[in-house]
Amino acid sequence: MPSRLHVSGDVTVPGDKSITHRALMFSTAAVGESRLRGLLPGEDCRSTASVLRALGCDVPGLPADGGEIRVTGRGIGAWTEPAAWLDCGNSGTTARLMMGLLAGRPFTCTLTGDDSLRGRPMRRITGPLARMGARFREAGAPGCLPIEVSGGPLQSIDYVSPKASAQIKSAVLLAGLGAGVPVSVTEPMLSRDHTERILGALGETVATEDAEGGVRITLAPSGRPLPPLRMEVPGDPSSAAFLVALALLAEDGELRIRNVCINPTRTGFFRLVERMGARIAMENARTAGGEPVADLVVGPARLRGIGVGAGEVPDAIDEIPMLAVLAARAEGETRITGAGELRVKETDRIAAVAGNLRTLGVEAEELEDGMIVRGTDRPLAGRVQAFHDHRIAMAFGVLGAQPGNAVEIDHPEVVDVSFPGFWELLRGVSGG
């Protein structure tokens, strides 16, 4: 292990996970041949592909190198009742967005998933979809998968969502699209808007406007068949966040991460670490696949603790574990609040991060809706648990790349859910 962490490299990260799920769903709901490049070949997106295949759609394997695939869609009306349960694996986005699309189909099917997914709350989705007319039967723990979905004609809804959640919003929008009925969702603040962007690119009318209680998103489906997509999926900012964090912890060097999606609903982590003292240059800004994209250039920084409140959480929701781990290397205290949703992600990410930090000798205190982390420059050592959560494994993997630390991770392979090749890339850009 070198005694100094030097970062260098000109790298790309795999395609965006949220956009990949949606690109696959929309291209199978469209009529004609879609051409998709840069899809994430991670396990979560493979779950979406296999669920769509089980519904009779022709979806080729997702190439490991992000090369082009062609998906021939026959319209959502051509989806057929599956012969077996639909296994969404570890992927909440697969389960929740598919529920929206399945709500309007005239057949019955059952969605399930792995142990983690079968413990995650689904009534936030089945609630509004049931109000539209779909029927659900819970076959597992209350509110959880496996859930049988009996779809059919749906009615319109103006749904006021208690959370800024793209999964809730997208499920309702996709249900409206699939059933051909107008829908609106009001959320407390705008959650990631990839569904709306793709709908707009496919010629559907989606309006986003400020409204009482937050932001209202309205879809009035045209009723026309969806045209095929041409899409180059940009790099995932949630994956780039781990490399940015590594560069911040380095002693010298600079990292360039090309082709990262910089949609403002996804870049909260970059804004938060800038407040901690980082400088991240966004170069070569352009638009690709209907999304703003740029190359990120980042080097080491002296970090200081910050306060993070509820209004900043949705845009950084998947990156809070990395932020909290970085806080262990910042000067002073970092206090994260308004992040209770972290308790119902792939694992309880508040308990997982705080517990692992304490295992390594960092002072970390759990709050009901967040945590307090006190920075230290002591060497950190211990065996941490990933809890089968990809982002927990990667966040602690970054800390483990710092010379002097000895961080062992129980299940490093879980990174394949969203970032195949993570460990190789981490080693490749870290040097002495």
Compare residues 18 and 347 and give the one whose CB is closer to ligand S3P: 18
Radius of gyration in angstroms for the set of CA atoms belonging to the chain, rounded to a whole number? 21
- Tell me how far apart the alpha carbons of residues 148 and 85 are, in angstroms, rounded to a whole number: 9
Compare residues 50 and 222 and give the one whose CB is closer to ligand S3P: 50
Burial class (CB in 10 A: 0-12, 13-18, 19+), 2: exposed
Compare residues 27 and 165 and give the one whose CB is closer to ligand S3P: 165
Cβ atoms < 10 Å from Cβ of 370: 26
- Tell me how far apart the alpha carbons of residues 196 and 114 are, in angstroms, rounded to a whole number: 29
H/E run at residue 19: helix 17-29
- Cross-strand bridge partners of residue 116: none
Please calculate the CA angle 293-321-317 and round it to the nearest 5 degrees: 50
Q: How many helices (H) and strands (E) does the chain have?
A: 12, 22
CB of 265 to ligand S3P, least distance (A): 10
CB of 369 to ligand S3P, least distance (A): 14
Residues that bind ligand S3P (CB under 6 A): 18, 93, 165-167, 170, 191-192, 317-318
Selecting among 236, 315, 318, 416, the annotated active-site residue is: 318
- Tell me how far apart the alpha carbons of residues 317 and 188 are, in angstroms, rounded to a whole number: 15
H/E run at residue 271: helix 268-275
Compare residues 93 and 347 and give the one whose CB is closer to ligand S3P: 93
Sole residue written with tokens 């390594």: 360
Sole residue written with tokens 């407040």: 275
- Tell me how far apart the alpha carbons of residues 150 and 53 are, in angstroms, rounded to a whole number: 19
CB of 97 to ligand S3P, least distance (A): 7
Compare residues 25 and 247 and give the one whose CB is closer to ligand S3P: 25
Compare residues 24 and 255 and give the one whose CB is closer to ligand S3P: 24
Compare residues 273 and 320 and give the one whose CB is closer to ligand S3P: 320
Residues in the chain: 432
Cβ atoms < 10 Å from Cβ of 385: 17
- Cross-strand bridge partners of residue 63: none
CB of 328 to ligand S3P, least distance (A): 22
DSSP E strands in 171-289: the ranges are 183-187, 205-211, 214-220, 230-232, 252-261, 280-288
Q: In the annotation, is 315 catalytic?
A: no
CB of 346 to ligand S3P, least distance (A): 8
* DSSP one-letter code for 75: -
- Cross-strand bridge partners of residue 334: 373
CB of 185 to ligand S3P, least distance (A): 12
Compare residues 135 and 163 and give the one whose CB is closer to ligand S3P: 163
Closest CA to 346 of 108, 88, 36, 142: 88
Give catalytic residue positions. 318
